């Protein structure tokens, strides 16, 4: 693995493909952290295993696990899923695993962004985050692909989406947050996204999902389903705090064109009713920095948009709500060539994210 | 990775190839343990890196490193050598990495032997050894090859050598030691070697190298250089404690034939003068279990036989002694198609083994 410090993917002819382009594999991390995953993480493990199995139907899945958890991971995952040892502070592969870029010959490289637990000492979610921050490079080494060293720029994989045709979508609330790259202007941040993702146009959604602890990652509110088409988390309830956030995104998107000059087609994906954490769930969580990570009744950032697009499936969350089936049908209509697999994901959501957050695709045929 | 519990390599048509057959790669472990490697292991690291680079000239080398040492390993190894995270208790890849077997189609599988730090609670060298014992399976998972679960049988890779044609060579002092498999008879142990290595004949050398802490592993005293030919550590000094040990091996080998019925050709490889540890070297070593691991003046188990046969090189130790060059010439004569690379290995020897002990080949073309 070469560590590339003095060039950019764009300069070298590499771009980040869309998630709906072909993958050779997917990376996940085995959940372990006791202040994220209730009651020792057993329920979360089950959901992670279901996600891994659904994805492994059409691409090779590697689950990274600590030495301590290796045996447990190996025991609960089927033999066609690889388990590799790797240390982390938590289990959000989307945010710590490398962003992969490809060139026209199909060669891949990784990007090693800086990671600071979603806001560092300003508003990060835990301390320390050193093991997470080492992962992207280690994953590239594991797959023997070269890596761009961009640790001087704080970015999580969940805060970017691309159509693979020159358009990148982010949220202002996240990328302009004080805990990321406060010394950089919006234009400078946009320049980095263009240089590293091969983007020509950056779409800046104003906000994300209400109370999303990541400063509202784009991957929880809006995703590309095809070139020129996005799906947006939506509520018709004007009393809901989410209403104005989704509306602001809709209004923004309505006035924008993508890098190819297309007007964007926006599909609304209704949200579930507010999903709140229960007292007995909170009781199963350790403290973090002497404080509870959740309080009974806290609203969780539930959204059906937090899905993963595998080669032959879309793996989406369900919350045990009446709205689950309607959401599944909408997504199935948007992905006619893939089977939409819905997995009960309350136990992932409690950790603070969902299916897209715990996965990272490796592009390629 | 499938874990195979109810069959054996022999029954499935797999055999352990000779080290001089083709390899696809080699596994090593980055040294870190402060009671094995003096002064923080910096000198040992240098020697390990030289070994890795010499091997990487003709096969893919993967160095396994703890999370803590990953960055250091990556920094001192060239980019064509892969570094993968894996936890261990020490750095003896020969003894913890899987023994690989192949079938006639070239498919490979691993064997996960039990490991107890060279003797467990009887005369093992450190406690605990749990991370080492988990490695073989994890390495198979990393390479996505199936693994035989033989953890109920204690064996280290350094305690076996094979000619790839049905002959396996071991030492009685090690395989019959009380700290390995005391409940098994010699015949039962031989049966396991035949079932798992595809052997038809086991050669039992009586002894190994004087004061070798592994209960005298075969790989420090005798090795196959070709079918029907071995190289044996030798001294002409009848006053040396090693003399009777080497003589016993020579006498044993002289009376034996291999699995194909050939009389063995024994090449003597003279030992260096006794290599003893110095006071300043001991001062750089941490205690182990409240005791020093070495005392000034202790004789180390130095032997030129502890070499690694790579695809296009033989990587052998040197000790800064007059005998180094003579030993190199003998080996070069025995391996006319490979370059014999001699690496100053005192800093590996201080840890308790040598170049063969810190490497494990992955067979295949």
Q: Which amino acids of A are annotated catalytic?
A: 357
User: With 90 as the cut, is the pLDDT of residue B107 above it?
Assistant: yes
Q: What is the pTM of this model?
A: 0.96
Peptide bond into A169 cis (omega under 30): no
**pLDDT (tens digit, 9 = 90+) per residue, B225-277?**
999 999 999 999 999 999 999 999 999 999 999 999 999 999 999 999 999 99
User: With 90 as the cut, is the pLDDT of residue B155 above it?
Assistant: yes
For chain B, the average pLDDT equals 97
Q: What's the rounded mean pLDDT across residues A135-158?
A: 98
Q: Token pair 């999902």 is at which residue?
A: A209
Cα A177 from chain centre:
18
Of A79, A83, A87, the CB nearest to B85: A87
User: With 90 as the cut, is the pLDDT of residue B365 above it?
Assistant: no
User: With 90 as the cut, is the pLDDT of residue A329 above it?
Assistant: yes
Minimum distance, in Å, between the CA of residue B244 and any CA atom of chain A? 44
Q: Is A76 on the interface with B (CB under 8 A)?
A: no
Query: Do the chains contact at A134 and B87, CB–CB below 8 Å?
Result: no
User: With 90 as the cut, is the pLDDT of residue A64 above it?
Assistant: yes
Chain A and chain B share a number of CB contacts under 8 A equal to 56
Q: Is A70 on the interface with B (CB under 8 A)?
A: yes
| Cβ contact B254:B246 at 8 Å | no
Q: How far apart are CA B158 and CA A332, in angstroms?
A: 56
Q: What's the rounded mean pLDDT across residues B143-164?
A: 98
Query: Do the chains contact at B79 and A2, CB–CB below 8 Å?
Result: yes
User: Residues 125..184 of A with a Cβ closer than 8 Å to B: which?
Assistant: 131, 134, 137-138, 141-142, 144
Q: Is A339 on the interface with B (CB under 8 A)?
A: no
Residue B241 pLDDT: 97
Query: Do the chains contact at A141 and B83, CB–CB below 8 Å?
Result: yes
For chain A, the average pLDDT equals 97
User: With 90 as the cut, is the pLDDT of residue A236 above it?
Assistant: yes
What percentage of chain A exceeds 70 in pLDDT?
Answer: 100
Of B2, B71, B131, the CB nearest to A67: B131
Query: Do the chains contact at A131 and B74, CB–CB below 8 Å?
Result: no
User: With 90 as the cut, is the pLDDT of residue A365 above it?
Assistant: no
| A330 half-sphere exposure, CB direction, 13 A CA radius | 21
Give chain A positions within 8 Å (CB) of B131: 67
Q: How many CB atoms lie within 10 A of CB B35?
A: 18
Query: Do the chains contact at A84 and B142, CB–CB below 8 Å?
Result: yes
pLDDT band, very low/low/confident/very high, at A250 (cuts 50, 70, 90): very high
Peptide bond into A128 cis (omega under 30): yes
* Tokens coding B205: 């050398």
| Cβ contact A270:A326 at 8 Å | yes
Q: What's the rounded mean pLDDT across residues B92-106?
A: 97
List all residues 6 or more positions away from B314 whose beta carbon is below 8 Å from its beta carbon: B307, B308, B331, B332, B335, B338, B339, B340, B341
pLDDT band, very low/low/confident/very high, at B186 (cuts 50, 70, 90): very high
| Cβ contact A279:A19 at 8 Å | no
Q: What is the dihedral of CA B231, B236, B239, B241, to 10 degrees?
A: 0
Query: Do the chains contact at B1 and A86, CB–CB below 8 Å?
Result: no
Give chain A positions within 8 Å (CB) of B87: 67, 85
Chain A residue with minimum CA distance to B62 = A142
| Cβ contact A10:A155 at 8 Å | no
Q: What's the rounded mean pLDDT across residues A165-172?
A: 98
Minimum distance, in Å, between the CA of residue A304 and any CA atom of chain B? 33
Minimum distance, in Å, between the CA of residue B211 and any CA atom of chain A? 33
């Amino acid at each position: 693995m070469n560590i590339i410090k003095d060039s950019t993917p764009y300069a070298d002819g590499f771009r980040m493909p869309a998630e709906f382009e072909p993958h050779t594999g997917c990376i996940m991390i085995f959940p372990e952290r006791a202040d994220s995953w209730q009651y020792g993480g057993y329920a979360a493990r089950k959901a992670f295993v279901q996600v891994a199995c659904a994805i492994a139907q059409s691409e090779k899945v590697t689950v990274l696990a600590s030495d301590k958890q290796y045996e447990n991971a190996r025991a609960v995952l089927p033999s066609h899923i690889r388990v590799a040892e790797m240390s982390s502070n938590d289990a959000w592969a989307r945010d710590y695993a490398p962003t992969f870029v490809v060139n026209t010959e199909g060669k891949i490289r990784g990007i090693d962004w800086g990671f600071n637990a979603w806001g560092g000492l300003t508003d990060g979610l835990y301390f320390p985050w050193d093991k997470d921050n080492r992962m992207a490079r280690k994953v590239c080494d594991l797959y023997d692909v070269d890596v761009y060293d961009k640790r001087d720029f704080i970015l999580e994989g969940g805060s970017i989406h691309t159509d693979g045709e020159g358009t990148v979508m982010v949220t202002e609330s996240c990328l302009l947050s004080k805990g990321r790259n406060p010394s950089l202007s919006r234009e400078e941040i946009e320049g980095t996204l263009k240089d590293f993702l091969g983007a020509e146009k950056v779409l800046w959604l104003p906000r994300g999902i209400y109370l999303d602890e990541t400063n509202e990652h784009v991957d929880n509110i809006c995703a590309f389903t095809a070139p020129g088409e996005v799906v947006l988390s939506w509520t018709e309830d004007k009393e809901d705090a989410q209403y104005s956030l989704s509306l602001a995104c809709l209004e923004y998107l309505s006035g924008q064109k993508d890098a190819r000059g297309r007007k964007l087609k926006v599909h609304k994906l209704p949200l579930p009713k507010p999903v709140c954490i229960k007292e007995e769930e909170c009781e199963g969580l350790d403290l973090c920095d002497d404080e509870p990570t959740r309080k009974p009744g806290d609203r969780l950032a539930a959204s059906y948009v937090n899905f993963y697009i595998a080669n032959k499936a879309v793996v989406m969350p369900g919350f045990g709500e009446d709205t689950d089936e309607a959401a599944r049908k909408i997504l199935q209509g948007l992905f006619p060539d893939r089977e939409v697999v819905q997995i009960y994901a309350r136990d992932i959501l409690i950790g603070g994210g969902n299916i897209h957050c715990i996965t990272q695709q490796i592009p390629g045929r």
